[in-house]
């Protein structure tokens, strides 16, 4: 039955795409040189989250040059443009993120970043160490192609260039959550949203997809344990927050190992920071734990929340201490959830664009993406596009968020075609 449905979907996609007069592959070839140039510009001039001022100006100038209706200053530095075909049809949103990271670049490139920025009051090196430079360039390429074939569209396309996907600076709000609050999915009302992320570990000319929970929800937490200070030689006079913290760290791990049904759901509870005390012979008054929770299922997420409160209170009470749990701490991302029906609807498009062997079913990852805020409001599909050179083994590919991060320019053409074809196919299938 599933095979029959997929076959029907393939026929539908091919049939709908046949209405297009423009050869998308040829159009992508024609714009590839510009896409590479844009990527190099962004890579050489990265900006940190909520500070993408020059990046936004560059993007907005280009979109205005295409004759699009452009809005700037969305969620501080975001840029949104609308392409209206003048014909009835759905509103398709395409999203790219714009921010770089406080990472020093170590690649030997003529267009490597030498930029410095300010983070937490300190001067830091800045690098596009997660490929957002490619995301912007690919979306600009798709905007060019779709604008050129405006007469072949049905409905409207909304191009979203988003700031602060990596997280706003301390004390600020930013990213997709703020864009949604400021109405980026309204006026016109978006029917569906597509996004993609370059992958340093996936071969160029491949795209990976995952129906359902594709990337984890992220929930940072903080636990402050209040005890009673005493001399280290007389521990019986204390309420020791360090021993309490040690018990708490170990107990929190059992939430995943003993309470989550791991054959169905994946979850992570990580304590990444412990602060407490300043001398070997003093039992301190207070200890602070900071960590992160990652879940791929709504029920698992709710269970971890409940278990965290239960264990923190129970252990503190048993030790005669007091504990304060802050969850979430400063930000929280929902699960990046690819609508299963939309994913299957677009699968023939992915297979036609990348080749049947080029569209790869992926496993979920415990990394997070704030694209999830759009998906909470409208059906969405988030994909991984290959950026790893074919002559580099996967084990040797540099990781995201590292000084050695690198993706091949050649991987971007597939991203341009995917954004374009998904828009076209969805528009024609909806009519």
Residues labelled as active-site residues: 99, 165
Peptide bond just before 328 cis, omega within 30 deg: yes
Cα-to-chain-centroid distance, residue 312: 30
- State the Cα–Cα distance between residues 130 and 97, nearest whole angstrom: 10
Note whether 388 and 203 are within 8 A (CB): yes
Note whether 369 and 335 are within 8 A (CB): no
- State the Cα–Cα distance between residues 412 and 97, nearest whole angstrom: 15
Contacts 24+ apart (CB under 8 A), 64-67: 66/143, 66/144, 66/147, 67/147
Note whether 243 and 319 are within 8 A (CB): yes
- State the Cα–Cα distance between residues 397 and 201, nearest whole angstrom: 6
Cα-to-chain-centroid distance, residue 246: 33
- State the Cα–Cα distance between residues 401 and 395, nearest whole angstrom: 16
Helix, strand and coil in the chain, % to nearest 5 = 40, 25, 35
Tokens representing 245 are 């913290």
Q: Which of 275, 294, 291, 286 is CA-nearest to residue 323?
A: 286
- State the Cα–Cα distance between residues 416 and 137, nearest whole angstrom: 9
CA angle 281, 284, 287 (to 5 degrees): 135
Q: Which of 138, 195, 43, 207 is CA-nearest to residue 412?
A: 138
């Amino acid at each position: 039955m599933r095979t029959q449905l997929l076959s029907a979907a393939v026929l539908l996609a091919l049939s709908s795409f046949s209405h297009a007069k423009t050869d998308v592959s040829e159009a992508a070839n024609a714009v590839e040189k510009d896409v590479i140039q844009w990527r190099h510009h962004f890579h050489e001039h990265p900006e940190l989250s909520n500070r993408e001022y020059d990046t936004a100006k560059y993007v907005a100038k280009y979109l205005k040059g295409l004759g699009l209706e452009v809005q700037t200053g969305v969620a501080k530095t975001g840029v949104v443009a609308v392409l209206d075909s003048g014909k009835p049809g759905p509103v398709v949103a395409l999203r790219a993120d714009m921010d770089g990271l406080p990472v020093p670049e170590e690649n030997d490139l003529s267009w490597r970043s030498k930029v410095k920025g300010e983070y937490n009051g300190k001067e830091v090196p800045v690098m596009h160490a997660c490929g957002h430079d490619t995301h912007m360039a690919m979306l600009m390429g798709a905007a060019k192609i779709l604008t050129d074939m405006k007469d072949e569209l049905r409905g409207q396309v909304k191009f979203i260039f988003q700031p602060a996907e990596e997280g706003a600076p301390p004390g600020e709000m930013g990213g997709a959550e703020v864009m949604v609050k400021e109405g980026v999915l309204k006026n016109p009302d978006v029917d569906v949203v597509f996004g993609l992320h370059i992958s340093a570990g996936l071969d160029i000319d491949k795209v990976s997809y995952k129906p359902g929970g594709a990337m984890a929800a992220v929930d940072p937490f903080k636990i402050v344990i209040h005890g009673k200070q005493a001399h280290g030689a007389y521990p019986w006079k204390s309420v020791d927050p360090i021993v309490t913290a040690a018990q708490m760290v170990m107990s929190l791990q059992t939430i995943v190992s003993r309470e989550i049904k791991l054959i169905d759901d994946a979850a992570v509870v990580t304590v990444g920071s412990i602060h407490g005390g300043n001398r070997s012979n003093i039992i301190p008054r207070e200890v602070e734990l900071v960590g992160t929770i990652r879940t791929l299922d709504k029920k698992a997420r709710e269970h971890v929340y409940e278990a965290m409160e239960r264990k923190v209170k129970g252990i503190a009470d048993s030790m005669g201490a007091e504990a304060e749990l802050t969850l979430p701490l400063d930000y929280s991302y929902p699960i990046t959830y690819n609508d299963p029906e939309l994913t299957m609807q677009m699968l023939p498009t992915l297979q036609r664009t990348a080749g049947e062997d080029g569209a790869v079913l992926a496993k979920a990852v415990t990394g997070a993406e704030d694209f999830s805020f759009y998906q909470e409001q409208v059906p969405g599909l988030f994909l991984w596009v290959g950026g790893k050179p074919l002559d580099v083994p996967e084990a040797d590919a540099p990781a995201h968020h590292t000084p050695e991060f690198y993706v091949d320019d050649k991987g971007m053409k597939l991203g341009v075609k995917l954004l374009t074809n998904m828009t076209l196919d969805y528009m024609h299938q909806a009519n």
